[in-house]
Each structure stands twice: as structure tokens, then as C-alpha cells.
């Protein structure tokens, strides 16, 4: 029988109208999203009919992604599917915490909104950029960053991709150094230098919020962005991942070593599925981003279970 992990998207809110079919088809999703709308008026209209430029703003991106990610997991469970473990990329770690049982849904949504506000404020106070570095190994990227002021590896995504966060003024020197080393810089459509020391103030702020956030006993394994290991202290993990690199490759490698062989990406896009394929070619990856992909993923999981019988 397949050992399934859910992986929760944390970027790539690129689909205008996202989640509308989830909202229309599920009373459970509709109830949660209506409560979120009451807390953050205008959020649903932004998801269903907003402009991409609006969705790219951190204070909007994160709550929208949270609702999409968690709804996808809820609908999979309603269809009779359950994961044995979970991980979330960046913001995706909060809906992953919720699905794993650490947080109640509305509490997790409140935390998402506060995280987004803190990171947006940091981005405005300390402007920065992020670049996906291709065609260079991670150790070369580390060496390049070490020679520059205010540039840091931010996401260790796969053997072929490391993301760098940098101060605005470090962007040109970074691009020149990567080109000189034979690599390629791909600018990311984000509004700050996330998972770097430029987010220190946001991490401190969230740490204070988390001290008063109730946590439950989890119901399944959850892996941390900050360590790549199974969760130990959710307050420290969630506060620390804001200003520390996302160890995504390490996380997936540890999950594979623990026997996970099927990964279901929840939320818009297929970014995480692509990275997982780079880390472990041939591993099973599926996605849930709308009702059509939900149905095809459920069928694929049922076929895997029948094949294992």
C-alpha cells in the first residue's frame, strides 16, 4: 500500500478564480472560507476575481494560499483519502500544521494573516529580491553569497535549484557573480527577501504571537522547513522558518528515507511536484488544485491501493 504524504504549496498564487469550484461544491469549505471572509473582508472576491498584481502582494498571497491548501486537504479527506505525513513549503507549513492537527483551522488562518502582515512590514522596511539560481550546485551558490553583502541562500529546493534572497542593492552584483560562475538567475515574483536575515523582525514578532497560540497534539507526522526533520517544537519551527532557509530537498529526502513513496501537492500550481521529481526521479506525484484534479488524484490513489492488494 502506498505511503502518502501531503505537501502544501507556499507560493505560486497564479490562478485567478482559484478555489471557486471548491467553495461552490463543499459546505465544509464554504463554512471555513465564509468565516475567513468575515475576519478578512474582500478576501474571497480577491481569490475569485482579483487581479494578479493584487494576489502577488504578500498580505494577500498568504491568506489565499492558506485557504486553497487546506481546502484541498479537506476535500481529499472527505473523498476517503488520508496521508501518513505532511510538509509545507514556506507559508504552506501553516496549513500543513493545521492538517496534521497542531492548529485549529480558524486559529491557523489568524496566524497566517499575522505572519503575512509581519513579513510585508519587513519587506517595506528592508526591500529585497529573490532569485532562483539554476545550473549551479548549492555549495557554489553558498560561496557566491558569502562573498557578497546581504545575499543568502533562502530555499534549497532541489539538486538543480537554490533560491537566493538579497537586499535590493545586492541584486545586480549577485546576478553578475552567478553569470560569471556559469549559472542563471531567474527573478521570482515575490515582494521581499523571505527566509533571510532581512525577515528577523518578522520572526521576532511572530514568535510573540505564537506564545499565545494554542497547539494540539498532532495526529500525523509533520516535517519542518527549518530542519528537514520531524517537528519537535511548533512554536520555534514556525517562527524560525521565516528568517531561515527552507530545506526542501533535505525534507523530501528524509521523507523518502522514512518510506513515503507518493506525494500529493495541495494548492495552486505544480511547483513542488516538479521539485520532488528533480530530487527523486520516478517518485509518484499528484496534485489537487481544483475539482477536476481532485477527482483524478482520488482515482490514481485508489488504483495504487488496488495494485498493492
Name the CA radius of gyration of the chain, rounded.
19
57-74 burial, b if ≥16 CB within 10 A, otherwise e? ebbbbbbbbbbbbbbbbb
Residue 212: count other Cβ atoms within 10 Å of its Cβ. Answer: 6
Taking only the tens of pLDDT, the chain with its 309 residues reads 679 999 999 876 556 678 999 999 999 999 999 999 999 999 999 999 878 888 888 899 999 999 999 999 999 999 999 999 999 999 999 999 999 999 999 999 999 999 999 999 999 999 999 999 999 999 999 999 999 999 999 999 999 999 999 999 999 999 999 999 999 999 998 889 999 999 999 999 999 999 999 999 999 999 999 999 999 999 999 999 999 999 999 999 999 999 999 999 999 989 999 999 999 998 999 999 999 999 999 999 888 777 665
In the β-sheet with 284-288, what is the strand arrangement from edge to edge? Answer: 221-223, 85-88, 4-8, 262-266, 284-288
Q: Are 26 and 282 in contact (CB under 8 A)?
A: no
Compute the distance between CA of residue 136 and CA of residue 280 in angstroms, rounded to an integer.
18
DSSP reduced 3-state for 35: helix
Q: What angle do CA 73, 75, 80 make, to 5 degrees?
A: 95
For strand 85-88 and strand 221-223, is the pairing parallel, antiparallel, or unpaired? parallel
Which pLDDT score is estimated for 308?
61
Which pLDDT score is estimated for 309?
59
Which pLDDT score is estimated for 15?
60
Which pLDDT score is estimated for 191?
85
In order of start, what are the domains of the chain with their CATH numbers? 4-124+196-308 (3.40.366.10), 128-187 (3.30.70.250)
Compute the residue count for the chain.
309
Q: Are 287 and 6 in contact (CB under 8 A)?
A: no
Amino acid at each position: 500500500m502506498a505511503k502518502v504524504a501531503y505537501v502544501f504549496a507556499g507560493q505560486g498564487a497564479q490562478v485567478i478564480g482559484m478555489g471557486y469550484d471548491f467553495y461552490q461544491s463543499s459546505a465544509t469549505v464554504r463554512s471555513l472560507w465564509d468565516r475567513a471572509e468575515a475576519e478578512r473582508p474582500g478576501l474571497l472576491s480577491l481569490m475569485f476575481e482579483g487581479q494578479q498584481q493584487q494576489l502577488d502582494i504578500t498580505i494577500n498571497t498568504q491568506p489565499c494560499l492558506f485557504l486553497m491548501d487546506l481546502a484541498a486537504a479537506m476535500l481529499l479527506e472527505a473523498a476517503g483519502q488520508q496521508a501518513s505525513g505532511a510538509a509545507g513549503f514556506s507559508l504552506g507549513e501553516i496549513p500543513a500544521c493545521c492538517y496534521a492537527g497542531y492548529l485549529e483551522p480558524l486559529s491557523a488562518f489568524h496566524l497566517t494573516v499575522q505572519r503575512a502582515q509581519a513579513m510585508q512590514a519587513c519587506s517595506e522596511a528592508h526591500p529585497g529580491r529573490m532569485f532562483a539560481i539554476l545550473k549551479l550546485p548549492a555549495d557554489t551558490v553558498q560561496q557566491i553569497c558569502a562573498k557578497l553583502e546581504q545575499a543568502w541562500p533562502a530555499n534549497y529546493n532541489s539538486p538543480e535549484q537554490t533560491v537566493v534572497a538579497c537586499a535590493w542593492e545586492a541584486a545586480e552584483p549577485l546576478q553578475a557573480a552567478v553569470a560569471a560562475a556559469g549559472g542563471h538567475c531567474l527573478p521570482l515574483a515575490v515582494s521581499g527577501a523571505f527566509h533571510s536575515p532581512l525577515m528577523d523582525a518578522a520572526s521576532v514578532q511572530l514568535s510573540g504571537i505564537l506564545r499565545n497560540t494554542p497547539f494540539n497534539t498532532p495526529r500525523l507526522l509533520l516535517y519542518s522547513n527549518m530542519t528537514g526533520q520531524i517537528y519537535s517544537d511548533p512554536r520555534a519551527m514556525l517562527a524560525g522558518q521565516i528568517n531561515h532557509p527552507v530545506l526542501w530537498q533535505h525534507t523530501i529526502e528524509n521523507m523518502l528515507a522514512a518510506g513515503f513513496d507518493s506525494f500529493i501537492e495541495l494548492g495552486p500550481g505544480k511547483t513542488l511536484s516538479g521539485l520532488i521529481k528533480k530530487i527523486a526521479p520516478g517518485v509518484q506525484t499528484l496534485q489537487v488544485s481544483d475539482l477536476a484534479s481532485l477527482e483524478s488524484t482520488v482515482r490514481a490513489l485508489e488504483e495504487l491501493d488496488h495494485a498493492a492488494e
